[in-house]
Structure 1
Amino acid sequence: MSLLDILLVLARHKPLIVRTVLVFALLGVTYALLAPEKFKSEARVVREAQTEGGGDLPGGISPGALSGFGISLGGSASGLTPAAFPDVLQSREVRLAVVRDTFRFPDAGQPMTYVDYMNRPAGPLSTVMNYTLWLPWTLKSALRDAISGSPAPAGTTDAGEPMIPSEDEDAALKSVSEKISASVNEETGLMTISVTAGGPQLASAFAESFLDHFTTRVREIRTEKVRERLQFVEGRFVEAEQELEAAEDELAQFLERNQNPTTATLQFRRDRLQRQVRFKEELYSSLQSQLTQTRLDLQRRQPVVTVVEKSVPPMQRSAPKRTQIVLIFFALGGALGIGGAFGKSFIEQTEESSEEREKIEEVKRNLVPERWHEKV
């Protein structure tokens, strides 16, 4: 086919091409105008560098200055690297805490949690849109809910019991996962948190909520073992203090009753009570050093994430890109119109040619069963 033949086909079927382009352009404009606006807010955090030796304490106190008191601050790695930050950000614990926060939504009359916002009754227009223009996304969401099944545990409560979200909270967890994304610069360890929402203030509030709960979660992971050790040492320290007081009281009562013991039995009992007091004192002193060391270790591990750039309300929307959408629909309409023009031209030429008609009849005879020939 020469260039002239191509131009001739386009000229003959110009109305078909124009109508197709106009229809798709109209669809593109409609979609671009009805698509909800989205705004993206970003925040950046970085993990503070900590040496294996533990580094200095807040206030410039050197770990070596405490060695004379029997306190050692040897470092220990937590295993939490910046590469794991996006997974922590998307963890169920962080998302569950975010969806339980209260936000001010542009299309809601009062502040509410994200769970309540997601499960509020749909309006008439929203229902029509869900089952017409947004039908593919509605079916996708329903299919995803059917496959996913029941929600999994989301962390634990203060009592140590599994914290399982309700069905409403599980739907909110899935929805909020689509709003958050994160990327880490492997060289600098800087993580960028991006949150997309339906308004500039809402996007900034979401980003701030994610940032706060992410920082808290990282701190919990970093200090989990230290806090468990601190709780154990505190309990044992209280017991040792009570035991020491009881031993001292018993020794004091004995000395008050026997100020000048002369018999061997009384002297042996006095020595035994004094040994018990010395032992309790040594245990008390040792636990006191461990308690101080554990508290300092916990304090040293607290500030592990630094906010380099806080989230702010974006000035411009990130989506939809209306001009780009219209151009894509316009190009798609043009491609389909040109394809339809050539298809229609091919069918017309085939019907006019007796040789081509014979070929079609032969294809029918070989592919279509004989009982269908008359129908075809």
Structure 2
Amino acid sequence: MSEQQTPVKPTPIADDEIDLLALAKTLWNGKRTVIISVISGAILGVAVALLSPKEYTASTVMVPQIGDSQSKLGGLGGLAALAGISLDANPGAELSPMIYPQIVSSIPFQMELMNTPLNFQEHAQPITLFDYYTKYSKSSVIGSIKKYTIGLPGVIIGAIKGKPKEISLPGDSAQPVLLTEDQYKIKKELDEIVSLDVNAKEGYLTLSTRMPEALVAAQLAKKAQDLLQLYITEFKIEKAKANLDFIQGRYDETKTEFEKAQVSLAVVNDRNKNFTSALPRIETDRIQTRYTIAFGVFQELAKQLEQAKIQVKKDTPVFTIVEPVTVPSEKSKPKKAIIVIIWIFLGGIVGVGIVFGREYIGEIRNKWNETNG
């Protein structure tokens, strides 16, 4: 009796496997398009990398010194200040490091940076940032392309609006700060090239500047560092300095009065030393009393003056420079290899998109023809 053979049924192929096979086949058929797109992306990436302007970044790392009132709280006071929280009983005397970036981006700070002379390679004499950006700086090829592609709407709107009218302010009273159009543009530029990062967790500040030349970047970073220290110092010692100036003025006045009383007492003593009558003695006692009072006031103000000087020194903040400003030896931008890789990746994405888009459009066209046929 012969055995009856059961026919073997073919294993069904899952729909997702069919879809993946179809996608792989579509991609393989369009490999020429993908390769051309990748090569085009690589060429564009090389062009962008070569045409992008050079940038050098100079930076410095600083640690703000903890004030006397905060030092009594230990490390907690310093960390709280960096986090923008004041644990001081007199919060008006301290300036949180979280405010430092606002100082760097303030108009007075940036106006001083604009007028800072810097040594550019193409110029024999130092020129200011304001002159550099208004007279000598040229837009790069990439910058021009961005301006008339991505930034074209802004260019059109600016052309329609025209230049803003100049505003003149009377000079007979206190006036708000008024920037010219060029100053406003350079301020926006400085917002991009000068930055201050506050690391509240680690407790340090990083000040960075970016410029087309290494030496200029370092000079600008050093100037910004010095200005930041100056602004913070002026703010923190403002009250103590005003008190010192007041005491210094009173001290000078009292010193003059004391010296006059001293001379008057000496003259009276010399003149009346051989007299025994009451009138000369009364005159001597009167001048002696005036001298004693002047001396006492003078002595007290001298003590207060020394205390005020000590207070000014105590309130003067000191930045510990962990990493000083150095002239960068390597460019920070452009990162040519990264730019090329990104453009190759974008080219591949565009190529794959074209292949599948063309397939999808073809299917829609076929269905349309079948429906109308």
Report the TM-score when normalising by structure 1.
0.72
Decide which moves more: 325-334 or 281-290. Answer: 325-334
Q: Encode CA deviations 1:129-180: one digit per residue, 9 max, x unaligned.
A: 6543443358669989x9xx999xxxxxxxx998766544443332122112
Question: 1:251 Cα deviation (Å)?
Answer: 4.9
Question: Which of 118, 128, 153 does residue 103 from structure 1 map onto?
Answer: 118
Query: Is the aligned partner of 1:275 residue 2:292?
Result: no
Indicate yes or no: 2:56 matched with 1:43: no
What is the alpha-carbon distance in structure 2 between the residues aligned to residue 141 and residue 188 of structure 1?
43
Question: Helix, strand or coil for the counterpart of 1:311?
Answer: coil
Alignment partner of 1:30 is 2:44: no
199, 221, 229: which is aligned to 2:213? 199
Q: Secondary structure at the match of 2:135?
A: coil
1:99–1:107 distance in 2 versus 1, CA, 3 Å = same
Look up the equivalent residue of 1:33 and give its one-letter code: L
Structure 2 vs 1, CA of residues 90 and 353 (structure 1 numbering), >3 Å: closer, same or farther? Answer: closer
Within the candidate set 297, 301, 320, 2:315 is matched to 301
Counterparts of residues 248-327 of structure 1 (less than 5 Å) = 248-251=262-265, 260=275, 262=277, 270-302=284-316, 304-327=318-341
Quote the residue 1:224 is aligned against: 238
Give the whole-Å Cα distance in 2 for the aligned partners of 1:113 and 1:252: 61
Letter in 2 for 1:241: K
Stretch moving more, 15-24 or 290-299: 15-24
Aligned residues: 326
**Distance across 1 between alignment mates of 2:199 and 2:325:** 18
Output one character per residue of 1:236-264: Cα deviation in whole Å (capped at 9) or x when no partner.
11111222234445555556666647457
Q: 1:33 to 1:139 in 2, by over 3 A?
A: farther
Write the distance in 1 (CA, Å) between the matches of 2:331 and 2:257. Answer: 67
- Map 1:2-21 → 2, pairs under 5 A: 2-21=19-38
Q: Distance in 1 between matches of 2:70 and 2:53?
A: 52
Change over 3 Å in CA distance of 1:334–1:54 after alignment to 2: closer
2-structure distance, mates of 1:54, 1:76: 13
**Which residue matches 2:250?**
236
Question: Cα distance 1:254–1:141, how it changes in 2: closer, same or farther (>3 A)?
Answer: farther
Contact 2:195 2:209 in 1 (8 A): yes
1:177 equivalent to 2:191? Answer yes
* Distance change >3 Å, CA 299–CA 354, structure 1 → 2: closer
Check 1:231–1:137 CA distance in 2 against 1; reply closer, same or farther (3 A cut): farther
Distance in structure 2 (CA, Å) of the matches to 1:6 and 1:317: 43
Q: Report the alpha carbon displacement of residue 80 of structure 1 after superposing the two structures with TM.
A: 2.1
Residue 119 in structure 1 maps to residue 121 in structure 2: no
Q: Provide Cα deviations, 1:345-374, integer angstroms capped at 9, x if missing partner.
A: 22222222357645xx9xxxxxxxxxxxxx
Q: Counterpart amino acid of 1:85?
A: Y
For the Cα contact (< 8 Å) 1:82–1:189, is it kept in 2? no
List aligned pairs for 1:64-83, cutoff 5 A. 78-83=93-98
Q: For residues 250 and 140 of structure 2, what CA distance do their matches in structure 1 show?
A: 61
Gaps of 5+ in 1: 56-74, 152-159, 362-376
Task: Output the CA distance in 2 between the equivalents of 1:277 and 1:53.
Answer: 44
CA distance in 1, matches of 2:129, 2:22: 61
CA deviations 1:306-336 (Å, max 9, x no partner) are 2122122223222212222222222222222
Q: Please, what is the CA RMSD of the aligned residues?
A: 3.7
Counterpart of 1:196 in 2: which secondary structure?
Answer: strand
Per mean C-alpha deviation after superposition, the further-off stretch among 347-356 and 276-285 is: 347-356
- CA deviations on 1:268-309 (whole Å, 9 max, x unpaired) are 555444333222222111111111111122233345212122
| 1:70-113 CA distance string (max 9 Å, x none) | xxxxx977312444433334443433322222212245454211
Confirm or deny: 8 A CA contact 2:114 2:128 kept in the other structure: yes
Could you tell me how far 1:128 is from its partner in structure 2? 6.5
User: Distance in 1 between the 2:156 and 2:245 partners?
Assistant: 46
